[in-house]
Amino acid sequence: MKSNNLTDHTLIINELETSIKIHNWNSILPFLPKGSYLVGGYIRDIILGRGNEDIDVDIVVPFNAIDIGKKISENIESKLIILDKKREVVRIILNRIYIDISNQTSSTIEGDLCSRDFSINSIAFLFDKKCLFDPLNGLKDLETSLLRTYAETNLLNDPLRILRCFRFVSELNFKIDPKLSEFINKNKEKLYLVAKERINCEIHKIVNGVNALEALILIKKFNIFGSNNLFEDSFFLDLKEINFAEFNQEEKEKFLPLLFISQILDEASLAEFNFSKAEIAKIKLLRKWHYLLKKKNITKLNELDRFVLHQELEMFLPSFIFYLPHNLRFDWLSRWRDKDDKLFHPSNLINGDVIKKNLKIEDGPIIGKLLQYLSKELAYKRLNNFDEAIYKAKQWIEQNAPKCD
C-alpha cells in the first residue's frame, strides 16, 4: 500500500489486519496481554507497500515476554530463541516470519517509542484498542521520506543505528534530517564499538539497495570509515560521475555491490569487519590492476599482461569497468557479455591429462605454464582446433622444457 493520505488511519489499520491474517500469525494474538502493541518495520513496510520474503515482526508486551513467547511457541509448534534473557527478548520463527517479543522498558508506551531508532519505526498499533499511536509524527516522516530520530541517545544506545541511517537511504531513498546528520558526525567513531559481524551485515544491505549509490556518496561525505586520507587514495572513484546506464539490471545486482564495497573500505577494514576471503581477494585484484593501469595505459599492455588481466578478473570484470577510460567501457562490457570471446573468457581446447598423454610428460609446473600459453594463443586467435593445440604444445615443450646434459 502506498497511501496518498497517511492521516487515514483506518486504511492503514485495515491493511495491517489483512496482512496479519494473510501471513497467518493472528493465532498468537490471544496470548498477548492487554497493552501489547505492534511496532517497527512491519508497520513501516505495510505503509510503504514494501513486500519482503522474510517478515520481521516486533511486538512489545507490558511484562513476561519470555513466558508469553514460550506459550505461543508451544501452541503453534514453532521454534523459540531467547535473544536476551536479562532484558526478556525472545524470537519465534514461524516459516519465514520472525516474531520478536520484548518487554516494555518504559512506564508508558510513548516513553518506549521515544527510545526507538527513528520516527518511521516508532509507529505503534495497539492490539486491544485497534488504533495507531504515533507520538513522534513518524507517519509524516514516511510521507516526506525523512529519516529523523527523537534524541542523540537513541543512536548511542546502539551505534549500529549510525550505519542503519545509510541503509534506509539505500533501500528507501530517504533524506537524513539535519539534526540527525549532526548526531552522526559527532558520534560516528562509536560505530567501532559494535560487533564486526553486525557492521558487515549492514554494509551488505547498503550496497545491495536500489539507491546504493546515493548512500555510498553520503558515507564518503560523512567519512564513516577511516581517515580523510583514505578517500584521497586514487583507488577510490568519484561516485557522482559514474553512469551505470550501460549495465542491465542483473549486472547491477551482481557486480555493483563489490565495486561499492571497494569504494568505502580499504583492505585493512575489509579484514577487520570479517568480509569473506573471496570478497577480499577480488578487491585486492581490482586494486592491483587499477594501480598497474595508473602506471601504464591500458592500450600499451603487452599480450601476456592483457591476457592475465582477463584471467584474474573474468568472473567479476564488470566491477572493474569503471576504472577504465570512458571510451573503452562500453566495448569491454560488450565483449565480456559475449561468452565466445576467448580473450574476455579465457578457455582451452585441451586439458592437462590430454597433454600428459600425447606429449608423454609428467605432472609439474610446466603443464600449468603450457596451458596458459595455449589459452593465450586461443584468446588471440592463433589457435583453431585440437590438432593445432597439440602441435603448438609440442613446439612450446621443445623450447621451454628443462634440458638435461
**In the prediction, which pLDDT does 363 show?**
83
Is residue 301 in a domain? no
Is residue 336 in a domain? no
User: Could you tell me if 213 and 185 lie in one domain?
Assistant: yes
Residues 6+ apart with CB under 8 A from 49: 1, 2
Mean pLDDT per block of 10 residues along the chain (405 residues) reads 58 90 86 95 92 86 95 90 93 90 94 96 95 96 96 94 97 96 95 95 96 94 74 70 87 95 91 95 95 90 96 97 91 96 96 88 88 96 94 91 61
The H-assigned helical ranges of 149-210 are 152-156, 160-172, 178-187, 196-207
Structural domain that includes position 395 = 352-400
Of 116, 144, 172, the residue that ends a domain is 144
User: Could you tell me if 69 and 194 lie in one domain?
Assistant: no
What's the distance, CA 205 to chain centroid?
Answer: 4
**In the prediction, which pLDDT does 229 show?**
52
User: Could you tell me if 190 and 245 lie in one domain?
Assistant: yes
What 3-state DSSP class applies to 175? strand
Of 275, 305, 325, the residue that ends a domain is 275
Is residue 63 in a domain? yes
**In the prediction, which pLDDT does 8 show?**
66
Of 275, 306, 330, the residue that ends a domain is 275
User: Could you tell me if 94 and 32 lie in one domain?
Assistant: yes
Q: How far is CA 378 from CA 137, 385, 400, in A?
A: 65, 9, 19
Strand order in the sheet with 37-39: 79-84, 89-94, 97-103, 55-61, 37-39, 124-126, 131-133
User: Could you tell me if 189 and 169 lie in one domain?
Assistant: yes
**In the prediction, which pLDDT does 201 show?**
96
Q: Is 2 exposed, middle or buried (0-12, 13-18, 19+ CB in 10 A)?
A: exposed
User: Could you tell me if 247 and 129 lie in one domain?
Assistant: no
User: Could you tell me if 85 and 131 lie in one domain?
Assistant: yes
Is residue 14 in a domain? yes
**In the prediction, which pLDDT does 9 show?**
87
Q: What is the pTM of this model?
A: 0.89
Q: Which long-range contacts (CB under 8 A, 24 or more apart) does 171-175 make?
A: 171/205, 171/209, 171/210, 171/211, 172/48, 172/145, 172/211, 173/145, 173/210, 173/211, 173/214, 174/120, 174/145, 174/146, 174/147, 175/145, 175/146, 175/147
| Nearest of 60, 139, 153, 43 to residue 103 by alpha carbon | 60
Alpha-carbon distance 104 to 158, whole Å? 17
**In the prediction, which pLDDT does 4 show?**
44
User: Could you tell me if 127 and 40 lie in one domain?
Assistant: yes
**In the prediction, which pLDDT does 234 show?**
58
Is residue 242 in a domain? yes
**What's 189's domain CATH number?**
1.10.3090.10
User: Could you tell me if 129 and 177 lie in one domain?
Assistant: no
**In the prediction, which pLDDT does 23 show?**
82
Q: What is the number of domains present in the chain?
A: 3
User: Could you tell me if 65 and 134 lie in one domain?
Assistant: yes
End-to-end CA distance of the chain: 83
Q: How far is CA 352 from CA 77, 259, 348, 395, in A?
A: 55, 35, 10, 16
Local structure of residue 345 (DSSP, 8 states): S
